Structures are given as structure tokens and as C-alpha cells.
């Protein structure tokens, strides 16, 4: 029995479960509401964002509020919520089968537990990627269609300093592709965590809620600006690295402050964050396999 | 003696301080129907789960098809069909979809015509397109059996297959077991907490109680009619005791405090006749098989 055949079976089962589509509907609804709100009242939002620099920075707000900018704003908001949607499916991977009683049926067939776990993990990753593609379509493609394209503004707050960066139109698409790629890795950590937690439960509510709680608590701590937490806690929380995708939009500048096309301000930081996330995935996956292989199936 | 499909030796399993299975050993002969009898919590399902590698034993050896289970799980499980406890399947999928999923695992044909043959075999013809959640308990049981049969296994394990079924469903499952054993030569392990259920389908059986083996053997031998326990009620117990102790029946007497005899059922009328001829009034005669009696005592306890 090949992993691919098992993956096909897992994807088929996921595709047949109504809860799978809750995430797609939720993303569509949130993005459409955003787009409607910005279309109706985007200028006020831009005024709020540009408060204080309106006098020193001449900007065509209508042109600045283009599809690329919209997508950035949507991703900033949504990528905090998407882990919850990923947990909905990944947290069900093993516990859902245990709850239905199908886990013992599946494991009494000639398939190794490692194969089953890897297939379920890959199915969760596949689902995450499809969810991101769906998000990319709605947040980027649809926004470009509604709001048009143009140079992109990126607002950045680093400590006490607020910054606005402008990225040329022909320097944006690759950044989005890289950002979505990074987000896929980041969300795979959430999927791995949810699959891992699903090993210990016999209904999917427990692992889903536990995953969400862990992400929420870690995210809150990751956003605390307290020196002792910055140095001693944040580096050990995977949530500190989930927003690393933004790094692709922090463009390097010359000494005169002119953006350098095709550049990234701190590529090493992105690479390090990616490695830490991949490490989390590997560790959670290996730990899951180790535990699952020794688990007595009592459900 | 025929070839053994299953050989279990000294199997034990504990969950924390609870000993679920205590050092049990048994063999299942090829082509036979082997019964697992015991109350809930006797260790039947735990043992069956160990035979399927779902649970790791603390000690003991399991050999199936002549090979140790440990290390040969894939090849052994590819020739076993099983339903453990309940025939749980994917309720949100149709009967066809459930069969297709497990057919793919076994690389078996997934065409509707191939699946229809299987559904017809278990009496679910025409219900393949329906979602399993709309099935009755009996239909779910039959679908579970269809999944267990997908790989045309030599060895089938059915854990409490008649649980929750109506009398017609129970008869149908019983007939299916008989069919697979007699017509298709399959070896079947079937568990139940009902003695008569095992008596009707099994050739051999093992009785488990609180994780321990308390009896094992051929059903016909274990339920031998000569091992009947007969209890006679009379208003003149002392007179009856004196009479019996001086008669040919004395060697059959099982108790000196009451009229209990171990004898063949066919001898009961002669015993009653002898008592009546000696003016001992007989108000009640109760006959139980010794094993049945023992099992009933366990169940009532």
C-alpha cells in the first residue's frame, strides 16, 4: 500500500466531510466583507493610517488602495485566524477516526501506523495549501480585479518608529508567492500540532480547542513588548515566527532611503524563522509517529 | 488434528493495575468456528485486539498462519477480516464509498458491479448508494461483514456480531457464519456473552472470566448431556436421602444436603419413577447443564 494511495483515500474522506468547507466559506465571507467595506469606505481607513504624515507625504489615496494593498491588509488580519481553520481539519485526523470507531477498522488492515500517520499529516498539509490558494485567489486575484493594481504601500511599526514603504508594481507578485509559501510552512506547524494532539483524544473537539488555545496564548505572548519576554520567551514560541511572511514585504533601501528593487531587508531572519518552523514540523511529526506506533487502540 | 491457524500462548495484558487478560493460551484449528464466551469485561475484545495488533500484549506469543504476529503484521493482517466490538464505518459516506475505501487498501476492484456482488452476499443489495448513517444496526453489521470479507480472508474475527440485532438479524448473521465456515472453508473466531449463541455456531470454544480461561474444548464435549445437573425438590428430603444412599443412584448424588445428581438427561424419568415408587413426593425437577449452570452463576454474579 503506497502512501499516495492512502493520501488519496484521506483526501477523499476530507472532501466528503461538511466541516471541511466551513473554512472555505469563512475565508470567502471575511474577504468579501473586507472588500465591500474598503470599496464603500476605504478612504477613511487610509486617512486613519496616514494620520500625521498627510502633510509631509503626498499620496493618491485612491491609487494606493489597490488590489495588492488590499491583499496585504487582508492577510495581516486573516493569517491570525487561519490557524483556527486549519485546526478544524487537522485536529480531527486521528481523534475523528477514534470517535467514529473507524480507527480500529483502519488499523486492522495491512497498513503500517507510520504510513497512516504520514498520509493523514500530508492530507492536512494538502488541505492547508488548498485553503491558502483559496485565500490567495479571493484576497489577491479578486482584490486586483475589484481595486486594480499599482505600487504597493506597506505600513510598518518597529518599536517606536512607524514606517511606510513603497514597493513598485513589478516587484510585488514574487513577494506574494514567497509570502504564501512561507504561510504554508507556518500553517503546517499548526497542522502538525493539531495532528499530534489528536493522538491523545477520542473526539475531535479536544484537540481542535487545545490547538486553538495554544495558538492564542502563544500569539498573545508573542505580541507582548516586554524585554524579558522578548529575550527569554519569544524565541521559544513558534507563534513568534508565524508572521515571518511579512519580511518579504520589508524592502531594503539605499542609504538615501530609496527602495532597492527585488531586495529583502533581512533575508537571514526569514531563513532562520523558516528553519525553526520546519524544525517544529519535523519534531512534531516524529513525536507523533513514535507515540502512534506504541499506542494501544482502545476506542 | 488439523493445522492450527491461530496459536496463542501465555497471553497477558494489563492496563495500569487492571489485569484484562491473564496468561491465556488457546489454538484455533483451520476451518473451524471458534467461540469466545464470556461476560462483558471478560477479556474477549482485548484478546481479539491483540490478535489484530491493535493492542500490544505485556507478555505471551501470538502465531497466526504459522508466523509470529510481531514483525509480520502486514502479511498476516492482509489475510484477516475483522469486526471488533461494533461495525463502525464512515457514516457520512455511502455503503459503496466505504467499500471503495477499503477495496483500495487491499488493491481490490472498486467497480460498482464488484461491490454489488459483495453487498448481495451480505444481504445489502440495492442499498449501496445510501449513506451509512441511514442504515439500521443490522445493516451496519452486514456492511461491516462485507468490509471484513473484501480481501477474501482465510481467517475472520467477529466480536459480538449479533449485538443490537433483532431476532431475524441474529438468525441471518448466524447463517452467514455457517455459510462462510461450511461452504467457503473460512476459519472464524466469534465472540459472545451468550452461551446459546456460541453453542449454535461454534465447533470449539473458550470461556473467559475476568481475564482468565476457565474452560476450553469442543462445544459438544463441554456441553456433554451426561454432565447434566438435576435438582429434585421434595417435601420429604430426609426420607429421599436415606432411600438414595441405599440405592443404585447413590453414586450419582452430587450433594449430601440436597437432591442434586450428575447424570445423563435420559436417566431423569427413571430417577423420578424410583422416588415415586418409594412414596417420596416429587414437587419439582430442574435440569441444567453443568457448564451452563456454571456460566449462569458467573453471569448472575
Divide the 299 residues of chain A into consecutive groups of 10 and give the mean pLDDT of each group: 88 91 92 90 78 63 84 85 89 92 92 95 94 92 92 79 84 94 95 96 93 93 87 90 91 86 92 95 97 90
B74 touches chain A (CB under 8 A): yes
Question: What pLDDT, on the 0 to 100 scale, is given for residue B286?
Answer: 83
Which of B178, B198, B219 finishes a domain?
B219
Whether B174 and B274 share a structural domain: no
Look at residue A167 in the predicted model and tell me its pLDDT: 92
B48 touches chain A (CB under 8 A): no
Total domains in the fold of chain B: 2
Is the Cβ pair B97, A107 closer than 8 Å? no
Which of A7, A16, A109, A114 should we substitute to test contact with B (largest number of B Cβ atoms within 10 Å)?
Answer: A109
A12 vs B contacts (CB less than 8 Å): 97, 101
Chosen from A110, A112, A116, A202 to mutate, greatest number of chain B CBs within 10 A: A110
Q: End of a domain among B191, B219, B247?
A: B219
Cβ distance of B90 and A100 shorter than 8 Å: yes
Residue B75: its chain A contacts at CB < 8 A? 110
Q: Quick one: B56 and B140 in the same domain?
A: yes
Is there a single domain that holds both residue B209 and residue B246? no
The answer to whether the Cβ–Cβ distance between A100 and B77 falls below 8 Å is no
Q: How far is CA B255 from CA B226, B245, B296, B298, in A?
A: 17, 11, 19, 20
Contacts of A5 in chain B (CB under 8 A): 104-105
* Cβ pair B73:A112 closer than 8 A: yes
Could you read off the pLDDT of B282-295 as tens digits, one per residue?
988 888 776 676 67
Check B92 against A110: CB less than 8 A apart. no
Contact between chains at A112 and B56 (C-beta distance less than 8 A) = no
Beta carbons of A105 and B89 less than 8 Å apart? yes
Same domain, B195 and B245: no
Answer for the pair B231, B286: CB distance below 8 angstroms, yes or no: yes
Residue B199, min C-alpha distance to chain A (Å): 27
Among B80, B88, B93, whose Cβ lies nearest the Cβ of A105? B88
Same domain, B196 and B258: no
∠ CA A238-A8-B124, rounded to 5°: 130
What is the reported pLDDT for A190?
A: 95
Residues of chain B under the 70 pLDDT cut = 1-2, 225, 256-257, 290-291, 293-294, 296-301
Same domain, B157 and B283: no
Same domain, B163 and B31: yes
State whether residue A102 sits within 8 Å of chain B by CB. Answer: yes
Chain A: closest CA distance from residue B48 (Å) = 11
| Contact assessment for residue A239 and residue A215, using Cβ atoms and an 8 Å cutoff | yes
Q: Least CB-CB distance to B74: which of A105, A110, A296?
A: A110
What radius of gyration, in Å, describes the C-alpha atoms of chain B? 24
Contact of B105 with chain A, judged by CB distance below 8 Å, is answered with: yes
B122 and B59 in a common domain: yes
From chain A, the residues in CB contact with B107 under 8 A are: 1
pLDDT of residue B81: 93
- For B78, the domain range is 4-219
Query: What integer pLDDT is reported at residue B200 of this predicted model?
Result: 87
Residue A218 burial (CB count, 10 A): 18
Q: Are B53 and A107 in contact (CB < 8 Å)? A: yes
With contacts defined as CB-CB under 8 Å, which chain A residues touch B95? none
Q: Do both B244 and B268 map to the same domain?
A: yes
B250 and B130 share a domain?
no
Q: Do B294 and B206 fall into the same domain?
A: no
Q: Does A230 touch chain B (CB under 8 A)?
A: no
Residues B131 and B278 in one domain: no
Interface test with A, best of B92, B100, B143 (most A CBs within 10 A): B92
DSSP assignment of chain A, as one string?
Answer: --HHHHHHHHHHHHHT-TTHHHHHHHHHHHHHHHHHHHHHHHHHHHHHHTTTTTTT----HHHHSSHHHHHHHHHHHHHHHHHHHHHHHHTTTTHHHHHHTHHHHHHTSS--HHHHHHHHHHHHHHHHHHHHHHHHIIIIIHHHHHH----EEEEEEETTEEEEEEE-GGGTHHHHHHHHHHHHHHHHHHHHHHHHHHTT-SSSHHHHHHHHHHHHHHHHHHT---HHHHHHTGGG-GGGGGGGGGGGG---B-TTSPBPTT--TTHHHHHHHHHHHHHHHHHHHHHHHHHHHH-----
Looking at beta carbons, which residues of chain B come within 8 Å of A1?
Answer: 105, 107
Backbone angles phi, psi at B283, to 5 degrees: -95, -25
Q: What is the CATH number of the domain that holds B14?
A: 3.40.50.300
Q: Do A16 and B97 touch (CB under 8 A)?
A: yes
Distance of CA A204 to the CA centre of its chain: 21
B104 touches chain A (CB under 8 A): yes
The pLDDT, as a whole number, for residue A280 is 95
Q: Measure CB to CB from residue B78 to each of A110, A294, A296 and give the nearest one.
A: A110
Domain boundary (B153, B187, B219) is at: B219
Rounded distance between C-alpha atoms, residue A42 and residue A65, angstroms: 7
Question: What is the ipTM metric for this complex?
Answer: 0.82
Amino acid at each position: 500500500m503506497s502512501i499516495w494511495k492512502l493520501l488519496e483515500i484521506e483526501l477523499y474522506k476530507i472532501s466528503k466531510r461538511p466541516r471541511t468547507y466551513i473554512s472555505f466559506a469563512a475565508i470567502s465571507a471575511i474577504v468579501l466583507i473586507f472588500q465591500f467595506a474598503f470599496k464603500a469606505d476605504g478612504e477613511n481607513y487610509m486617512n486613519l493610517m496616514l494620520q500625521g504624515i498627510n502633510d509631509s507625504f503626498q499620496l493618491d489615496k485612491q491609487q494606493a488602495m489597490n488590489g495588492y494593498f488590499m491583499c496585504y491588509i487582508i492577510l495581516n488580519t486573516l493569517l491570525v485566524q487561519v490557524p483556527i481553520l486549519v485546526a478544524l481539519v487537522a485536529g480531527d485526523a486521528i481523534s475523528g477516526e477514534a470517535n467514529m470507531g473507524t480507527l480500529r477498522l483502519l488499523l486492522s488492515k495491512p497498513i503500517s501506523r507510520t504510513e497512516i500517520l504520514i498520509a493523514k499529516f500530508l492530507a492536512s498539509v494538502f488541505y492547508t495549501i488548498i485553503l491558502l490558494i483559496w485565500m490567495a485567489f479571493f484576497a489577491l486575484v479578486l482584490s486586483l480585479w475589484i481595486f486594480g493594481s499599482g505600487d504597493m504601500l506597506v505600513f510598518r511599526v518597529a518599536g517606536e518608529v512607524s514606517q511606510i514603504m513603497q514597493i513598485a508594481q513589478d516587484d510585488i507578485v514574487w513577494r506574494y508567492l514567497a509570502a504564501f509559501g512561507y504561510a504554508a510552512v507556518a500553517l503546517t506547524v499548526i497542522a502538525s500540532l493539531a495532528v499530534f494532539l489528536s493522538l491523545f483524544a477520542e473526539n475531535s473537539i479536544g484537540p481542535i480547542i487545545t490547538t486553538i488555545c495554544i495558538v492564542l496564548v502563544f500569539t498573545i505572548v508573542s505580541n507582548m513588548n516586554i524585554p524579558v519576554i522578548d529575550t527569554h520567551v519569544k524565541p521559544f514560541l513558534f507563534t513568534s515566527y508565524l508572521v515571518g511572511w511579512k519580511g518579504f514585504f520589508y524592502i531594503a533601501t539605499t542609504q538615501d532611503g530609496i527602495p532597492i528593487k527585488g531586495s529583502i531587508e533581512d533575508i537571514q531572519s526569514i531563513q532562520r524563522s523558516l528553519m525553526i518552523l520546519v524544525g517544529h514540523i519535523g519534531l512534531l511529526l516524529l513525536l507523533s509517529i513514535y507515540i502512534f506506533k506504541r499506542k494501544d487502540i482502545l476506542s | 488434528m488439523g493445522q492450527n491457524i491461530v496459536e496463542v500462548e501465555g497471553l497477558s495484558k494489563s492496563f495500569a493495575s487492571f489485569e484484562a487478560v491473564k496468561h491465556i493460551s488457546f489454538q484455533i484449528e483451520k476451518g473451524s468456528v471458534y467461540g469466545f464466551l464470556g461476560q462483558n469485561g471478560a477479556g474477549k475484545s482485548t484478546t481479539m485486539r491483540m490478535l489484530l495488533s491493535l493492542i500490544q500484549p505485556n507478555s505471551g506469543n501470538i502465531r497466526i498462519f504459522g508466523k509470529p504476529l510481531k514483525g509480520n503484521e502486514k502479511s498476516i493482517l492482509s489475510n484477516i477480516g475483522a469486526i471488533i466490538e461494533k461495525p463502525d464505518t464512515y457514516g457520512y459516506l455511502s455503503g459503496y464509498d466505504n467499500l471503495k475505501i477499503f477495496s483500495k487498501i487491499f488493491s481490490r476492484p472498486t467497480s460498482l458491479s464488484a461491490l454489488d456482488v459483495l453487498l448481495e452476499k451480505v444481504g445489502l443489495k440495492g442499498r449501496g448508494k445510501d449513506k451509512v448513517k441511514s442504515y439500521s444496526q443490522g445493516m451496519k453489521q452486514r456492511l461491516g461483514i462485507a468490509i471484513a470479507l473484501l480481501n477474501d480472508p482465510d481467517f475472520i474475527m467477529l466480536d459480538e456480531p449479533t449485538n443490537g440485532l433483532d431476532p431475524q438479524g441474529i438468525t441471518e448473521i448466524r447463517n452467514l457464519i455457517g455459510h462462510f465456515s461450511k461452504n467457503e472453508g473460512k476459519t472464524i473466531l466469534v465472540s459472545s456473552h451468550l452461551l446459546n449463541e456460541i453453542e449454535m455456531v461454534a465447533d470449539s470454544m473458550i470461556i473467559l472470566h475476568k481475564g482468565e480461561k476457565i474452560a476450553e474444548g469442543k462445544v459438544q464435549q463441554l456441553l456433554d448431556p451426561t454432565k447434566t445437573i438435576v435438582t429434585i425438590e421434595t417435601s420429604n428430603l430426609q426420607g429421599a436421602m436415606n432411600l438414595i444412599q441405599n440405592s443404585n443412584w447413590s453414586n450419582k448424588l452430587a450433594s449430601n444436603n440436597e437432591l442434586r445428581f450428575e447424570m445423563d438427561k435420559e436417566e431423569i424419568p427413571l430417577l423420578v419413577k424410583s422416588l415415586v415408587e418409594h412414596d417420596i413426593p416429587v414437587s419439582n425437577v430442574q435440569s441444567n447443564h453443568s457448564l451452563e449452570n456454571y456460566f449462569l452463576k458467573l453471569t448472575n454474579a
